[in-house]
Chain A
Amino acid sequence: MGIEMSGLTVQLLDIAAGALLLTAVLVVWRRELSVILRVFALQGVALAGLVAVLASAQRSVELGLVALGLLVLRGVVLPLLVRRSLAGAGPVRRETTPMLNVAASLLAAAALTLLALAVSVPLVALDPSPATRAVPVAVAVVLIGLMVMVTRRHAVSQVVGFLLMDNGITAVAFLTTAGIGLLVEAGIALDVLLVAGVLHVLTGRIRETFGDTDLSALRELHD
């Protein structure tokens, strides 16, 4: 990235990245859906903070605007949207029986973080800087998001898993490049918003049709 950062900036960046990973792990740990959503909103804030730190390091107004947009979208709009679909999703407010129990999930998250660290070594080696050193954390968030999608039964936690993954991908994008342009980011944000909207409608429909949002009950999708 080639941008000199002061010690304080580096520390702030590390805190933001740490918060990103911590919130991801918290999503895996907690089973109460409303708590998960709150944690997810926190992660959005952490992501926005990460981009804001990068913006201040690069003295880029454009990136600052992107950070603001991220804060609104990921810290407020998306959590609200998911919360609304949770309100309509029926009486079950807990991820009662995940495919993988919580202890095993946490171990798996730890293993995935290790894997992310190992696999990102060449990426970091390309251009060692404080920002790229945080890339493994973002990759870990992507992997944990995917794991959440695979192991959770409730439709809302699946949506959260998807959005977690997207947060991770966004973080990787900002950490590895020198900013990806306002227009591109706006496009991606719009996409994610659209996906969240579709999933919101879909959850409602699933509940209307089957009276439940447990996806493992849907077994007729093949052929």
Chain B
Amino acid sequence: MNPVEFGLAAAVAVGLAGTVAALLVPRPARPGVTGACVAVAGALGLTAGIAAVTGVTWSVHLPAVLPLAGVDLAVDGLSGVFLAVAGAVAVAAGIYGIGYARHGLDGRAVQAAFPMFVLSLLLVPAAGGVGTFGLCWELMALSSLILVLAEHRRRPAVASAGLWYAVMTHLGFVAILVGLLVAAGPADGGSFAAIRAAAPGLPPAVAGLAFMACLVGFGSKAGIVPLHAWLPRAHPEAPSHVSALMSAAMVNLGVYGVVRVGIDLLGGGPRWWWLLTLAVGAVSAVYGILQAVVAGDLKRLLGHSTTENMGLVLVGVGACGLFTVDGEAVLAALALTAALLHVIGHAAFKTLLFLSAGSVLHATGTRDLDALGGLRARMPATTAAFGLGALAASALPPGTAFVSEWLLLQSLVHGLPAAGVVASIVLPLGVAAVALTAGLAVATFVKAFGVGFLARPRGSGAAGARESPPTMLAGMALAAAACVGLAIAPMLVLPALAQVAGTLTRTGPPVSGAVTIELDGVAGAMSPVLLAAALVAGCVVVVVLVRVSAARPARRETRLWDCGGGPLTERMQYTATSFAEPLQRVFDNVLQPVQDIEVTHHRESQYLVEAVAYRRRVPDRIERRLYEPVLAAVAAWGRAGRRLATGSVHLYLGFGFAVLCGAFVMLVVTR
């Protein structure tokens, strides 16, 4: 039996069993059963994905399952990458969810939606036709919506986040459907194979419309600026293992859609498609990380960072398309390899970060960085996990993101000599955006880790924190192992990814080597293992030298110098807000923060200050400029419509009567 077929079929069976079990099993056993089913389904999906990446393809047409269109499934290397990522994230999230769900998340609907969501995540990349794709996509949207709304009784913000998510994901779905249907119009049937065969005959304007609609729809799922508004709302309000699944597996499918439609189905396209993709990717990357660096909410920060990383992936995809148009197949394959590797790396570290953020939320009851701190002693495992995730997320060696961003930069830099006029302007800008993003990401994660976990507790929640249960730690450990593996030995996955990218861009794999990553076709080599080893060795040498050379004075116990102002308190530590303040100043024109300083003077004298209140908010400018006018217009339209609805039954009936008679009169008159 085909391993892909076996893996997918078994995953579907186990996932459905999990959904049914969640509905039947009594409450105490429910999280365990569904969590186990999710993990097993994820593992099966992972094996199917790995098999597909290594070259096993599988496709099937089941006409009886769905009326009219039937179900088309087709798994190739590209599907395999996203299938494997979704499966792997599901394994970690499923195990983690067993412990996490014990706190009010063991309701029937939520637990039943969880396996369903994972199942849809596995089926979307496996879909091989417009009908099946739309069905799975919608299933994914609905099941994730139920999960986002899981805690709606506890916080009113959840309902608003759910509304944003529901509206934006459905508008995005409309755009995707329009794009796919336009592309499928002249094709013989709705299967992807038929669309691929008919694509060369599409007029350029029609193909452009299809691509644009798909870019809008998939971009909104990937959280690309300016369609990102739902992401920093829904990610923080969802339960953390769901956030991990959404951020590490679901948003990837937006990228999958762009690659599948743009590069595979429509077979490339004119230059402007890819310039646009590259531009929105670069803008999203910079804007996302800028919002993250000033965010004070731990999970919101991670959500903004998702926008950033998806932006970087789209830069890679855009560069791939651009190089394909210019005939630089090797560079195109390299850029796509970098993008796919970044998808995998991002999935690994974002799973780890969201799971450990959930562990913090679970223990302290707050996501506000300004109220955290001092968790190192109380939650050592979680602190280690988050620290590892933060290192992986910042593009520094030996981090996970470093390898993929290095590959991305290599492709952009090597593209310069061959580039035309437009590309020779765009590519350096892309390099600058990636570099700026990398720098800001370091600042962001230093802030998140340093303020959130180190020093002394800034709030009562953090002061009373306890380490999370073993199942949650096990989920985090799996994600951590994936991060370390991808950082030290990316060559485990890189050749397979290069093969997939090479097949898509109709050339050979652009990367080779075992220990050292060697670029084929362009000059460049790098070894993450040796780099990491050198770093560790360097650190050891420095520590030893310091220990040996520094003369150690006699130890004295004494009070800390406090300028005579009384003992130092926790409030005097750096907070997330103060840490980001210099950066906020630098990017003042872009961010336009709203600040408010209130000084209360002493009653006796104007010269004595009693209290200083400082308030800062960084409203999303794009949201204010772009969404608020639209929302206001819709609201005005709604108010106008309300005047028609007076509550009179007769009036309502009269509307129908008048319209019917009007239509008849029109028929009579115009005929």
Contacts and interface: CB of A to CB of B under 8 A. Distances in A.
Interface of A: 99, 112, 115-116, 118-119, 121-122, 143, 146-147, 149-151, 153, 158, 215-216, 218-223
A146 B656 contact: yes
Interface stretch (B160-168, B206-214, B575-583, B659-667): B659-667
9 contacts: A99-B650, A115-B664, A118-B668, A119-B668, A146-B656, A150-B654, A216-B648, A216-B650, A221-B647
A146 B657 contact: yes
B632 interface: no
Contact of A119 (B647, B656, B664): B664
Contact of B649 (A112, A121, A143, A218): A218
B668 A219 contact: no
B421 interface: no
A221 B661 CA distance: 25
Contact of B653 (A119, A122, A150): A150
Given A115-B661, A118-B668, A122-B671, A146 B653 contact: yes
B646 interface: yes
A178 B326 CA distance: 66
Contacts of B665: 115
A116 to B, nearest CB: 8
B645 interface: yes
B353 to A, nearest CB: 43
B156 to A, nearest CB: 20
Complex A-B, nearest 8 residue pairs according to Cβ-Cβ distance, in ascending order: A222-B647, A118-B668, A219-B647, A119-B664, A222-B645, A150-B653, A150-B654, A221-B647
Nearest to A222: B647
Contacts of A153: 650
A112 B642 CA distance: 30
A144 B648 CA distance: 20
B419 to A, nearest CB: 59
A216 B649 CA distance: 7
A162 B671 CA distance: 30
A150 B664 contact: no
A113 B665 CA distance: 12
Interface residues of B, number: 18
Nearest to A122: B671
A205 B44 CA distance: 56
Interface string B607-646: 0000000000000000000000000000000000010011
A36 to B, nearest CB: 18
A115 B668 CA distance: 8
Given A122-B671, A146-B653, A150-B653, A220 B661 contact: no
A122 B671 CA distance: 9
A147 B657 contact: yes
Given A118-B668, A119-B668, A146-B656, A151 B661 contact: no
A221 B649 contact: yes
Contacts of A143: 660-661
A218 B660 CA distance: 25
A151 B650 contact: yes
B661 A219 contact: no
Contacts of A222: 642, 645-647
A100 B386 CA distance: 74
Most buried by A among B646, B656, B664: B664
A124 to B, nearest CB: 13
Interface in B526-542: none
A119 B650 contact: no
B650 A219 contact: no
A119 B667 contact: yes
Nearest to A146: B657
Contacts of A119: 664, 667-668
Contacts of B653: 146, 149-150
Given A115-B664, A119-B668, A216-B648, 14 more contacts: A112-B661, A115-B665, A118-B664, A118-B668, A119-B667, A122-B671, A143-B660, A150-B657, A219-B647, A221-B649, A222-B642, A222-B646, A222-B647, A223-B645
Given A115-B664, A118-B668, A119-B668, A219 B646 contact: yes
A22 B645 CA distance: 35
A74 B509 CA distance: 77
A150 B650 contact: yes
A183 B460 CA distance: 71
B5 to A, nearest CB: 42
Contacts of A219: 646-648
B406 to A, nearest CB: 58
A220 B647 contact: yes
A27 B649 CA distance: 20
Nearest to A220: B647
B136 to A, nearest CB: 34
Contacts of B657: 146-147, 149-150
Contact of B650 (A115, A116, A215): A215
A223 B644 CA distance: 12
B667 to A, nearest CB: 6
Contacts of A122: 671
B661 to A, nearest CB: 7
Nearest to A155: B649
A79 to B, nearest CB: 22
A220 B648 CA distance: 8
